[in-house]
Amino acid sequence: MTDKAKDEVIKRAEAIVASKNVETELLLDEYVKLLKAYKKLLKDLNKLLRINTRYQTRLEKIANQYDRLKKVILPICVYVRKMKMDSNYWQIEELYPASKSEYGDKNSLSITDNVGLKDKREKRYIKEVYCGDPLLTTTSKVLENQSVTPNQLKSHLRKLLREYKKLLKRFTKAITISDLYQENLKDSLLQLDVLSKTDTLTGLPNRYELGKRLEAEKSRAERHGRVFSIIMLDIDHFKAINDEYGHEAGDRCLVEIAKCILANIRKEDTCGRWGGEEFLVLLPETDIEQAILVGSRIIESIRKADIFYTSERLRLTVSGGVSVFEKGQSIDECIKLADIALYKSKQRGRDCLSW
């Protein structure tokens, strides 16, 4: 039902109620029209509440996984619970397929249950909702009463109009909340997507995301006959830093080293945290000679970096290993070669690059 249609229902009913001399037939006719509009609005409201319940469930699941999102999501969830306690029919759970609703963004939810609900089942539910609403039960008795006077009918019509306005106000609130749910759900899913592929400490791609990018680069290289290189970097004596200064100092080192690496690679290159104190650098369109130059530049930059914890300068170095992808290799094989080269650097005394 459009806003214009709702306005017309209210205007027409108010005009009838305000009239001094109205025939019983006209009153009954208006009563039936308003009752029909009320039923339609009640049905739509319950559909919308069902959709909002699904939004709330999805948002609460995300909030349970990521505590930081609760500050945004929970106030809205609490608001909905307050609304649902206003009267009995707000407690009714509707088995309506949200994916078929005209309200909200259908594509933002993955609702598979209840899709394809039978018409009979839906009609039976609607009947139950109407029977459960005290106002609708009263109106049915009024319509069945053959001896009702115009003044009595006008009184009932006035009451029905008042309840219709109240229901319309609740419906408008529910629409507003549904819009907020959609926006919060989109934002939360976006944050969830970012967090799933990002190392929260350094802000770099995590191992999972690196794996996806490596596979994508492998496909591209094989398809177009290109090359790419990998540099594995490992912080030297990282455990000693944690033992002497604490894990907070270790975290600071990881962040600063990530910055040093990013400052020495191109925009099209990827640097990610492979695990612990290990970093992986993916260099598309880069042969072994070019990769050695990049790796050497990174190692020198970290050696000269001014990294402080409290007031003390931490002297950090990294060891590195380089490998170049060759056609027919798997990603695991290419990474293994870089790891072997990294191990050589450790054996050579650290703070150097091998290939």
User: Are residues 163 and 261 part of one domain?
Assistant: no
Segment 22-34 shows an average pLDDT of: 71
In a domain, 233, yes or no: yes
230 close to 280: Cβ distance less than 8 angstroms:
yes
User: Are residues 44 and 162 part of one domain?
Assistant: yes
pLDDT tens across 86-101, in order? 443 333 333 233 333 3
Degrees (nearest 5) of the Cα angle 52, 54, 56?
70
Among 171, 196, 221, where does a domain finish? 196
- Torsion sign over Cα 40, 41, 46, 50: positive
User: Are residues 109 and 150 part of one domain?
Assistant: yes
Q: Report helix, strand or coil for 297.
A: helix
* CATH classification at residue 301: 3.30.70.270
- Write the burial class of residue 338 (CB in 10 Å: 0-12 exposed, 13-18 middle, 19+ buried): buried
User: Are residues 130 and 70 part of one domain?
Assistant: yes
pLDDT at 57: 83
In a domain, 23, yes or no: yes
pLDDT at 61: 79
User: Are residues 267 and 177 part of one domain?
Assistant: no
pLDDT tens across 284-338, in order? 999 999 999 999 999 999 999 999 998 889 999 999 999 999 988 999 999 999 9
Strand-pairing partners, residue 282, are 230, 270
User: Are residues 39 and 113 part of one domain?
Assistant: yes
In a domain, 202, yes or no: no
User: Are residues 304 and 184 part of one domain?
Assistant: no
Which of these is catalytic: 183, 277, 312, 326?
277
In a domain, 340, yes or no: yes
Q: State CA 201 to chain mean position distance.
A: 21
Helix axes 247-263, 288-304, angle to 10 degrees: 130
d(CA 171, CA 216): 48
Q: Would the pLDDT of 156 be above 90? A: no
pLDDT at 104: 34
Segment 57-64 shows an average pLDDT of: 78
Range of the domain at 101: 3-196
**Dihedral (C-alpha) 9, 14, 17, 20: value to the nearest 10 degrees?**
-130
Q: Would the pLDDT of 170 be above 60? A: yes
Among 130, 162, 196, where does a domain finish? 196
Segment 129-158 shows an average pLDDT of: 61
Q: Between 97 and 7, whose confidence is greater?
A: 7
Judged by average pLDDT, the poorest of 174-188, 204-218, 263-277 is 174-188
Confidence band (pLDDT; 50, 70, 90) for 62?
confident
User: Are residues 328 and 258 part of one domain?
Assistant: yes
The 10 Å CB-count burial string (b at 16+, else e) for 291-311 is bbebbeebbebbeebebebee
143 close to 25: Cβ distance less than 8 angstroms:
no
Segment 98-115 shows an average pLDDT of: 33
How many CB atoms within 10 Å of residue 228?
20
Q: Would the pLDDT of 277 be above 60? A: yes
Judged by average pLDDT, the poorest of 4-13, 109-118, 168-177, 344-353 is 109-118
User: Are residues 253 and 329 part of one domain?
Assistant: yes
102 noted as active-site residue: no
pLDDT at 229: 98
Judged by average pLDDT, the poorest of 48-52, 69-73, 232-236, 268-272 is 69-73
Strand-pairing partners, residue 141, are none
User: Are residues 234 and 166 part of one domain?
Assistant: no
In a domain, 201, yes or no: no
Q: Strands 278-284, 270-275: parallel, antiparallel or unpaired by DSSP?
A: antiparallel
In a domain, 37, yes or no: yes
User: Are residues 213 and 190 part of one domain?
Assistant: no
User: Are residues 25 and 157 part of one domain?
Assistant: yes
What residue type is assigned to position 261 of the chain? I
Q: Which two tokens stand for residue 184?
A: 């919060």
In a domain, 97, yes or no: yes
Count of domains observed in the chain: 2
Among 196, 219, 249, where does a domain finish? 196
Q: Would the pLDDT of 103 be above 70? A: no
